[in-house]
Structure formats: structure tokens, C-alpha cells
Amino acid sequence: MRRFVLHKMLPPFGWRAYRALGRSWTYRTENMQPLYDCIASGQPVVGAFLHSRTFALMHYFSLPEQGRWMLMCSQSRDGEAMARIEEGLGFRVARGSSGKGGARALVEMIKAQREDRGLNSCLAIDGSRGPRGVAQLGIITLAQKTGSVLLPVAGSTPHCWRWDRSWDRTVIPKWGATVAVRAADPIPVPAKLSPEELEALRRRVETTMLRLHTELDAETGYSDSEPLQLPPAGGTPPAQTA
């Protein structure tokens, strides 16, 4: 019965409910022109975001003017429902996570982008299990193997629900919320990197993402009793590689 509900009943309701919620939001965007320039020129993009802001950004990137996107979703039973919801929103979905099937899903995303140069991809920098805000290496591998640039994107609103018991402190904008969406400048990713260069780039991605969210949250008025913290000067080692 649980499988039937998760696979058959929940997804059609879920994506329609989320679409209705998303249509009630007003977006305030900043520095999104680099995305449109990449789409116009055919430059593939890997969108970088924090796992906690998935619901704040997913509707925005499902809109036709933002291009076509591929996401990664967990292989768990709950992930099956989420994958079908994402497909209902128009995304292409690879199944896997940092805990299971991540490498296979990453290969699937790389192959898909190589075969369809108009397809972009999105990946949470902190994976599906965290640690929260710590950049992992899978997103850099994805950009390297597809010739993509990394585009860090943040979403923020004070009018939201937050799931404090989740590892990432998931944020879901409320009905009628104004959601601020801001991109940093694209980050080029060389096809070959030494271990030292790879770690430096990982730290750059992590610092850029955390600073982007910290500044945007301060401007929108979003607050959290456990706010995101910028990494120390020495950096934070990644917990996973995919």
C-alpha cells in the first residue's frame, strides 16, 4: 500500500500542488543574465545550489524561459515519489545520491549532457546527506566532463516553513511569498586539475555559495537559529565525492 501511494497516488497530486504553490510566488531576481547568455550561446551550465533551498528554486527553474534541466534524485522509496514529481514539472531525472547510486547517476547526467548540448543540469553542492553547506566533488566532476560552467544560485524568503529536523533544514516558501533568486558570476571549470587545484576550486565553490546565501538571507530578512557558516580559512574537507 505504501508503495502504491508513493508511486501512483502522491506524485500526480504532489507536482500539481507544488506547481500551484509555485505559481503563487513572486520572484525577485538578480544577476540572472549570465544564465540567459549561456542558454543563448549554447554554453552548457551546471547549476549549483544548497540542498535546503531545493523547493525555493525548483519552480523557478521549471519555467520554460530558464532552459531545460536535469536533476539527481535519491533511489530511496521516498525519492521515487520525488523523482516523479520532478518529472511532472518537466525535469529530466537521474536516480542516485551520495549514499547510493550517486556515481552511476553522475555518469548518466554526463552522458545526457554530452548527447544533448541544450540540456543543463543542477546539483546540490552538499549532496543528499550533507554535511550541510559543505561542497562535495561530484558537481565539479560533472562540470569537467560536460564542458560546463558552474553557476551558483541562491533562493531566499522570510515567508517560509522550515523543517528543522531535516539535516539540511529544508526551506519551503509559503503561499504568496516573494522569493529572491540571485546568481553569482559563472565559475569556469578546467578539464584537468591537480589535486591542489581541485581542492582550491571546491573551496571556492563552497565559499561562494555560503557567502551568496548569507548576504541574500540578510537582505530578505530570512533568519535561522542555526545559520550557515562560512568555512574557515583552511577549508572544510568534503565528506563525499559524488
Helix or strand run (H / E) with residue 235? none
Q: Of 173, 175, 178, 184, which is closest to residue 215 (Cα–Cα)? A: 184
Q: pLDDT tens, position by position, for the chain (242 residues)?
A: 555 555 566 777 888 999 999 999 999 999 999 999 999 999 999 999 999 999 999 999 999 999 999 999 877 666 677 888 899 899 999 987 665 567 888 999 999 999 998 999 999 999 888 899 999 999 999 999 999 999 999 999 999 999 999 999 999 999 999 999 999 999 999 999 999 999 999 999 999 999 999 999 999 999 999 999 887 765 554 444 44
The angle subtended at Cα 159 by Cα 153 and Cα 163, nearest 5°, is: 80
Q: How far from each other are the two terminal CA atoms of the chain, in whole angstroms?
A: 32
Q: Where are the domains of the chain?
A: 2-220
Give the CATH class of 2-220. alpha beta
DSSP 66: G
**Reduced to 3 states, what is the DSSP secondary structure of residue 227?**
coil
E strand or H helix that includes residue 217: helix 195-220
Beta bridge partner(s), residue 55: none
* Residue 101 main-chain phi, psi, to 5 deg: 75, 10
Cβ neighbours around 105 below 10 Å, total = 25
